[in-house]
């Protein structure tokens, strides 16, 4: 790497109580880059996302944004600094409508003042949300809820957007629709860290990828080089 990365994790250890899930995880994401974190069930992908957002404390290691450590900052501070998560399972508020859900994405952040501009931007990106502004989120399809979760994360004007399994439970067609927006977001200069079990969809839009197995990075490289690699197969089907 020549330029210093927008986002960097160095030697991260994290887990739950006595149980260490992540061991010595290091990765980086350049500005405007799309990077995947791939791995099977239980590899530690969501745990990595939780540690990045500050919802889970690190046991060791450093997380940096723009070169500055954010490892000890509380979750809300990290949002203000530019880290936003679209969580696994979307977690939209079913009894609120689309626009209310979107507005919650900037509720406590410094992006509150630019809400009207950001709403317009998100409705441009996801016309389906614009058509359904007043619809209850709980009545939306899985794909629409996924768009809503991504839109809600974008409302805080992130520099690093964390997408946790955006294809979960979606048909291939709807997955494609959601995935089509990822390069558009990155083209605005937003860095994207994409967690997926759907390696094919993720690698198709990613510049680079890391493979996580049993809480350790077992491979890293350009997306096109990892696509047919044995190490990726081993991580999913045993061996790595």
Where do contacts with ligand ATP occur on this chain (CB under 6 A)? Answer: 16, 19, 21, 39, 41-47, 88, 197
Structural element, H or E, at residue 130: helix 127-131
Q: Which is nearer to ligand ATP, 47 or 109 (CB)?
A: 47
Taking only Cα atoms into account, the Rg of the chain, rounded to an integer number of angstroms, comes to 17
Closest CA to 213 of 179, 182, 181, 240: 240
How near is the Cβ of 95 to ligand ATP at its closest, in Å?
Answer: 25
Q: Which is nearer to ligand ATP, 30 or 199 (CB)?
A: 199
Q: How far apart are CA 119 and CA 11, in angstroms?
A: 37
Residue 139: Cβ within 10 Å count:
12
Q: Which is nearer to ligand ATP, 42 or 138 (CB)?
A: 42
How near is the Cβ of 216 to ligand ATP at its closest, in Å?
Answer: 12
User: Do residues 102 and 151 make contact, with C-beta atoms less than 8 angstroms apart?
Assistant: yes
How near is the Cβ of 128 to ligand ATP at its closest, in Å?
Answer: 26
Q: Which is nearer to ligand ATP, 8 or 46 (CB)?
A: 46
How near is the Cβ of 100 to ligand ATP at its closest, in Å?
Answer: 28
């Amino acid at each position: 790497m020549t330029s210093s990365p927008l986002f960097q994790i160095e030697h991260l250890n994290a887990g739950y109580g006595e149980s260490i899930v992540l061991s010595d995880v290091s990765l980086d994401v350049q500005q405007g880059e799309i990077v995947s974190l791939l791995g099977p069930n239980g590899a530690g992908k969501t745990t990595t996302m939780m540690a990045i957002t500050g919802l889970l404390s690190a046991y060791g290691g450093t997380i940096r944004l723009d070169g500055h450590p954010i490892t000890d900052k509380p979750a809300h501070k990290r949002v203000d600094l530019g880290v936003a998560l679209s969580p696994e399972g979307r977690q939209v508020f079913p009894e609120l409508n689309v626009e209310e859900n979107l507005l919650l994405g900037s509720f406590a952040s410094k992006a509150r003042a630019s809400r009207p501009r950001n709403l317009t931007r998100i409705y441009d990106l996801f016309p389906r949300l614009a058509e359904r502004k007043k619809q209850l989120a709980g009545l939306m399809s899985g794909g629409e809820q996924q768009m809503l979760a991504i839109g809600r994360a974008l409302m805080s004007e992130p520099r690093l957007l964390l997408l946790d399994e955006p294809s979960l439970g979606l048909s291939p067609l709807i997955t494609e629709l959601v995935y089509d927006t990822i390069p558009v977001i990155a083209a605005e200069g937003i860095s994207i860290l994409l967690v997926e079990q759907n390696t094919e969809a993720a690698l198709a839009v990613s510049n680079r990828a890391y493979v996580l197995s049993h809480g350790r990075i077992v491979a890293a490289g350009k997306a096109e080089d990892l696509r047919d690699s044995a190490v990726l197969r081993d991580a999913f089907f045993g061996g790595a």
